[in-house]
A and B are shown apart, each in its own frame.
Chain A
Amino acid sequence: MLKMQSVKKIYRTDMIETHALRDFNLEVKEGEFVAVTGPSGSGKTTFLNIAGLLETFEEGQYLLDGNDVSRLNDNVRSKLRNEKIGFIFQGFNLISDLNIFDNVDVPLRYRGFSSSERKKRINNALEMVGLAARARHLPSQLSGGQQQRVAIARALVGEPKFLLADEPTGNLDSLMARQVMDMLEDINKNGMTIVMVTHDPDLARRAHRNIQIVDGQVTDFKIYESYVDSTNHSDNAKKLAANTI
């Protein structure tokens, strides 16, 4: 699904060069749930940006879904990002001026679907996360957990191949964080590949596999062979599980 070989990324400013990633190797298989940990400044975010085709890199190769995406132009990368990748952020990153419906609509707009198709998908996605009734609300009228669920709906509405999550629970209290994690697990069980960056070891443990990045390199990884938590499925997550793909 996702394979990086010898990736090197350097940030240059007027005075200094920072090697954000060096000889970075990683493979994520289809259906895996991978947690990426590491101290701040280690290159976690850089890895996520490169994986999400938001940034380019100097050397190495990146295979996405079997295709080399290392040296593509912006239009093609944007199209891939739009069709194959879903993003979830710590800060939710909803567009505050747009209501919930229009926020979920954004990726579909760049896809060029007909308006009836978009409407159908948006309603489905909002239903999944249990927020269909809030479609006309603005993000600021929702709680943090609800906002993150909208973000998840937005990430999934275009039926991507894999999900990139950057500290998805970082801004949430523990109850809401658990709900969101449950939801992610359910999504994964339905076949979605998920790569999650986090600094929380408890959260990381719930993934199949842990990767640690230190100084721009993968240092070691642990595999939790079959981690299953059967006790904490929320109603919303069940609904979601039933509807996903």
Chain B
Amino acid sequence: MWKYYLRLSLYSLRKTPVLSLLMVLAIATGIAANLTILTMHSVVSSNPLEHKNDRLFAVQLNAWDPDREYFALNAIPPQVTYQDAKALYDANVADEVVVMRKAGVTIQHPESADLPSTYATRMTTRDFFSMFDVQFIYGGPWSKNADESPENVVVISEGMNNKFFKGANSLGQALLLDGEVFTVVGVVSERWQLVPNVYDLNNRPFEAAPDAYLPFFFSAAKPYQSWGNMQGWSDKEIKTHADFLQGEDIWIQAWVSLNSVEKRQEFTQFLENYISTQKEQGRFKRSPGYQLNTPQEWLNINNVVSKDNKQLLMLSFVFLMICLVNSTVLMFAKFLRKAPEAGIRRALGASRHSIFFQHLTEAFIVGIAGAFLGLLLSLGGLAAVRALYNNYENVAVFNGFTVAAAILLALAATLFSGFLPAWRISHAAPAQYLKTR
């Protein structure tokens, strides 16, 4: 029977080519727009650390101005001060602890005559690499010692390795960082890219992975050029770098991994103790004194899914609905015109079911064609989105999700746009169409 319905449907669609094309175009437009936005949204709203969501925590400490609460996000500063970062690291309580910042560092090959340039680097403790699942093509993280009394070691990106060493294994090679000699100990694969980059959501959540990584505690020795956010509230005069380190400016991101319930209790106990000793020194006057956030909570607090993203998502569904209603109207008009034929078929023994499924088959073909065309158009849509937003290279990417969504949307579109007309024609009284026309 399906083959018969299919034949009749194809025949019927060919009989009204313009109308068929209009219906397919309407559905394709709706699905293309919806897929584009849905794909973008699925990436923007994803959590690349889902598998560690129960273990990783972004640490917020509230040593902010006693007179007024922090002005953004959840009213607790999103970054920590140097003294608190150092305390977190030194306590050695968590299974892994990462304190880090974004800095601009001039990097140069010692033998190259090219003009140096400045690159986005992450100054961090070594646990960063294991905590955020960094993949290496050569070497690996630096040692614990290199963290504590910083050694001149650097991990570079595959892109930098290609640039300075033409892609060869560069372990043990030297690079000049802000004029000082550093030794390459690892090269990070260009496949490693968290989208969004949960670990630092202060600036652009979708920017590319860093060009280089170096031990965080170099920050204590001299003021590397900050490419991140620095915020302060205290009036205390800062004359020297030591003043700055002792001050209340926040500029460091802190993360811990706590792999067991006991660890979690131990760590919160440590934080509470730490805050109460700090209180004695006149700090931490606000409450709550701290907050631990899972990667998902951290993404939510930082509004990675923007107001615009949400609006566009809603819009894309309404848009799809309009397109589907449009196709329904056209299909309705078409089926009504075919009502006499359905009446004859009924008289010759076709049940309502047969008539319904015959017409649903026709709607289904239109839906499938529309979805397929929509899928193709959404490729263009995603390219357009990449062109429109200057940091969405990793976001607007065609993926398995898009294809799965296309199939679901095709089915939904068929049901939505074909059901009513097919139902209506299968329930029309056949007798009225059998009289002489």
Give chain A nearest CB distance to B63 CB in angstroms: 76
Residue of A nearest to B351 (CB): A78
Q: Does A18 contact B (CB under 8 A)?
A: no
Q: Which of A54, A82, A109, A154 contacts B4 (CB 8 A)?
A: A109
A81 to B352, CA, bound (A): 13
A54 to B352, CA, bound (A): 11
B341 to A74, Cβ gap below 8 A?
Answer: no
A82 to B351, CA, bound (A): 9
A78 to B11, Cβ gap below 8 A?
Answer: no
B434 to A78, Cβ gap below 8 A?
Answer: no
A78 to B354, Cβ gap below 8 A?
Answer: yes
Q: Which one of B199-207, B342-350, B361-369, B405-413 is at the interface? A: B342-350
Q: Does A95 contact B (CB under 8 A)?
A: yes
Q: Does B112 contact A (CB under 8 A)?
A: no
Q: Does A91 contact B (CB under 8 A)?
A: yes
Residue of B nearest to A167 (CB): B436
B436 to A170, Cβ gap below 8 A?
Answer: yes
By a CB distance below 8 angstroms, the chain A residues around B344 are 93-95, 106
By a CB distance below 8 angstroms, the chain A residues around B15 are 97
C-beta contact mask, A91-124 vs B, less than 8 Å → 1, else 0? 1011101000000001101111000000000000
Query: B340, B341, B353, B437 — which one has the most chain A CB atoms within 10 A of its CB?
Result: B341
Give chain B nearest CB distance to A99 CB in angstroms: 11
Q: Does B431 contact A (CB under 8 A)?
A: yes
A79 to B351, Cβ gap below 8 A?
Answer: yes
Q: Does A200 contact B (CB under 8 A)?
A: no
Number of B interface residues in the complex (CB < 8 A): 26
A97 to B16, CA, bound (A): 12
A94 to B341, CA, bound (A): 8
Are A93 and B352 CB-contacts (below 8 A) given A54-B347, A55-B429? Answer: no
Residue of B nearest to A77 (CB): B351
Are A45 and B347 CB-contacts (below 8 A) given A91-B436, A97-B11? Answer: no
Are A45 and B350 CB-contacts (below 8 A) given A55-B429, A95-B344, A97-B11? Answer: no
Q: Does A90 contact B (CB under 8 A)?
A: yes
Chain B's interface: helix, strand, loop or mixed, by majority?
helix
CB neighbors of B among A40-97 (8 A): 45, 49, 52, 54-55, 74-75, 78-79, 81-83, 85, 87, 89-91, 93-95, 97
Give chain A nearest CB distance to B36 CB in angstroms: 38
Q: Does B435 contact A (CB under 8 A)?
A: yes
By a CB distance below 8 angstroms, the chain A residues around B347 are 52, 54, 81, 87, 93
CB neighbors of A among B322-360 (8 A): 340-341, 343-354
Q: Which of A82, A95, A166 contacts B341 (CB 8 A)?
A: A95
Give chain A nearest CB distance to B282 CB in angstroms: 83
Are A55 and B431 CB-contacts (below 8 A) given A78-B350, A97-B12, A107-B348? Answer: yes
Q: Does B140 contact A (CB under 8 A)?
A: no
By a CB distance below 8 angstroms, the chain A residues around B4 are 109
Q: Which of A49, A93, A94, A110 contacts B354 (CB 8 A)?
A: A110
A16 to B125, CA, bound (A): 87
A106 to B351, Cβ gap below 8 A?
Answer: no
By a CB distance below 8 angstroms, the chain A residues around B348 are 81-82, 87, 106-107, 110, 154
A79 to B437, CA, bound (A): 27
Q: Does B430 contact A (CB under 8 A)?
A: yes
B351 to A54, Cβ gap below 8 A?
Answer: no
Query: B11, B341, B348 — which one has the most chain A CB atoms within 10 A of its CB?
Result: B348
A93 to B220, CA, bound (A): 93
CB neighbors of B among A163-188 (8 A): 166-167, 170-171
A78 to B437, Cβ gap below 8 A?
Answer: no
C-beta contact mask, A144-175 vs B, less than 8 Å → 1, else 0? 00000000001000100000001100110000
B351 to A90, Cβ gap below 8 A?
Answer: no
By a CB distance below 8 angstroms, the chain A residues around B353 are 74-75
By a CB distance below 8 angstroms, the chain A residues around B429 are 54-55
Are A111 and B431 CB-contacts (below 8 A) given A95-B341, A97-B341? Answer: no
By a CB distance below 8 angstroms, the chain A residues around B431 are 45, 49, 54-55
Are A91 and B435 CB-contacts (below 8 A) given A97-B11, A97-B12, A97-B15? Answer: yes
Which B residues fall within an 8 A CB radius of A? 1, 4, 11-12, 15, 340-341, 343-354, 429-431, 434-437
Which A residues fall within an 8 A CB radius of B? 45, 49, 52, 54-55, 74-75, 78-79, 81-83, 85, 87, 89-91, 93-95, 97, 106-107, 109-112, 154, 158, 166-167, 170-171
14 residue pairs of the A-B complex, CB under 8 angstroms, read: A52-B347, A54-B431, A54-B434, A55-B429, A74-B353, A87-B348, A87-B434, A95-B344, A97-B15, A106-B350, A107-B349, A110-B348, A111-B349, A158-B349
